[in-house]
Amino acid sequence: MLTAIKVRLYPSHEQQVALSKSFGCARWYWNYALNACIQHYENTGKTLPLKSYKGLLPQLKVEYPWLKSDCYSAVLQCVAINLNKAYANFFEGRARFPRFKSKNHKQSIQYPQNVTIVGDCLNIPKVGEVKAVFHRSIEGKIKTVTISKTPTDKYYASILVEGNSKNNQISGDKIIGVDLGIKDFAIVHDGEQVTKYSNPKHLKRHERNLARKQKKLARKVKGSKSRNKFRKLVAKVHERVSNSRQDFLHKLSRKLVNESQVIVVENLNVKGMVRNRKLAKSISDVGWGMFVNFIDYKLKAKDGQLVEIGRFFPSSKTCSCCNHIVDEMPLEVREWDCPACKTHHDRDENASKNIRTEGIQILSMGGGNPVLVAQRRSKTNKPQGGRASVDEAGSPHFC
């Protein structure tokens, strides 16, 4: 199993210079190769294959000797591979078009090999032994190491390790359904009771501070020293927001994973929701996507299972007692009475219970296509768009 461990680095002044040269070379080559790809496409209408811009390297190193002297060669090879990946992600609709890199943003380089741990230092080729703070011992084979520098001038190494991670975690065996929301971040149903975790609204707490600093930054002359200073101050606020958000998401996902064996969540179309301008800011702030990722990899480490329910499953509109589906359930309705069985529902409690029940049903069908299951159910209501298809036998797909 692969695990990534992030450690803070404290390079000396000389090492910072060496790292910044490597960042510079990697950035330069990325921009050069990206430009070559764009030019090639404009001229021929075809994409430049990986081996073409990788093949440019020996000639470039002759033309620009600093590419050879200032940067470890495998780092540049990685740049080529990453550019190729970025293009693939773009063509397969997972990401936007690769962008040129700027020295003002986060810097990072990858070492596919030859980074070793020496005492409490990380030995990096062409940089030397850099002081590092390890929060846990690193056991197993070191694969890729990514060195990065944040806009606030902090250095980190993300170390990918292959090996047997110790499985000494507390292991609950519950099946829980999680409904994600804005007012309450997560509403968790474990079959017996409901727990609500309120949304800490990380960005909101820093919003005024951020706005004030951004305003000042906008007034500074481009390229001036004080602009640079304010750029860093703004980056610092962003860093604080993102750190506190990640901290919250890590702690909550750890708690839920420790309690359970199966976690059921709705497959949220976060992108589509962010387009709703009224909600965009709060949705981007809560970090649902990141939360589901955290749950997923933590569950995998203990052989648990994440079940995602199709996003067309009417979790809010279905009565969890009698399965009656109401036609409409506007966002502002927090409590309602089922017209069929007269049960009084709290909107979110009812939804989390439905999510859990649906997840159990999917599991009992052997992990059938959740989107399909959801769509079948919603047929009793009204047909909704979806990508699910029924195969000839009419049975669910197994994935």
Main-chain phi, psi angles of 187, to 5 degrees: -115, 115
Between 148 and 350, CB nearer to Zn ion: 350
In the range 271-310, which residues lie near Zn ion by CB under 5 A? Answer: none
Angstrom distance (rounded) from CA 111 to CA 71? 11
326 near Zn ion, rule: CB under 5 A? no
Angstrom distance (rounded) from CA 386 to CA 232? 44
Residue 306 CA to its chain's centroid (Å): 16
Between 250 and 324, CB nearer to Zn ion: 324
Shortest distance, position 350 Cβ to Zn ion, whole Å:
9
Between 262 and 338, CB nearer to Zn ion: 338
Q: Which of 71, 338, 355, 373 binds Zn ion (CB under 5 A)?
A: 338
Between 26 and 319, CB nearer to Zn ion: 319
Which range in 103-111, 306-314, 334-342, 387-395 contacts Zn ion by CB under 5 A? 334-342
Task: Please name the residue that has the structure tokens 């060669």.
Answer: 73
Shortest distance, position 340 Cβ to Zn ion, whole Å:
5
Q: How far is CA 370 from CA 342, 363, 387, in A?
A: 29, 9, 11
Angstrom distance (rounded) from CA 132 to CA 238? 24
Shortest distance, position 193 Cβ to Zn ion, whole Å:
20
Tokens coding 293: 């990722």
Between 249 and 338, CB nearer to Zn ion: 338
Asked whether 110 and 78 are in contact (CB, 8 A), the reply is: yes
Shortest distance, position 352 Cβ to Zn ion, whole Å:
16
319 near Zn ion, rule: CB under 5 A? yes
Which range in 9-17, 210-218, 332-340, 359-367 contacts Zn ion by CB under 5 A? 332-340
324 near Zn ion, rule: CB under 5 A? yes
Shortest distance, position 324 Cβ to Zn ion, whole Å:
5
Task: Please name the residue that has the structure tokens 């839920």.
Answer: 256
What burial class does residue 179 get, using C-beta atoms within 10 Å of its C-beta: 0-12 exposed, 13-18 middle, 19+ buried? buried
Angstrom distance (rounded) from CA 285 to CA 387? 28
Q: Which of 2, 17, 279, 340 binds Zn ion (CB under 5 A)?
A: 340
Main-chain phi, psi angles of 356, to 5 degrees: -65, -50
3-state secondary structure (DSSP) of residue 145: strand
3-state secondary structure (DSSP) of residue 277: helix
Looking at the chain, list the stretches that DSSP marks H as alpha helix, in order from N- to C-terminal side: 13-44, 50-55, 57-63, 66-69, 73-91, 202-219, 225-259, 270-274, 277-286, 288-301, 347-364, 370-378
218 near Zn ion, rule: CB under 5 A? no
321 near Zn ion, rule: CB under 5 A? yes
Between 234 and 319, CB nearer to Zn ion: 319
322 near Zn ion, rule: CB under 5 A? yes
Give the single-character DSSP code of 311.
T
Which range in 49-57, 64-72, 199-207, 320-328 contacts Zn ion by CB under 5 A? 320-328
Q: Using CB under 5 A, count the residues that bind Zn ion.
A: 7
Angstrom distance (rounded) from CA 20 to CA 104? 12
Shortest distance, position 266 Cβ to Zn ion, whole Å:
20
Point out the residues that are catalytic.
179, 266, 348
Which range in 123-131, 160-168, 224-232, 315-323 contacts Zn ion by CB under 5 A? 315-323
Between 338 and 373, CB nearer to Zn ion: 338
- Please report, as ranges, the residues that interact with Zn ion according to CB under 5 A: 319, 321-322, 324, 338, 340-341
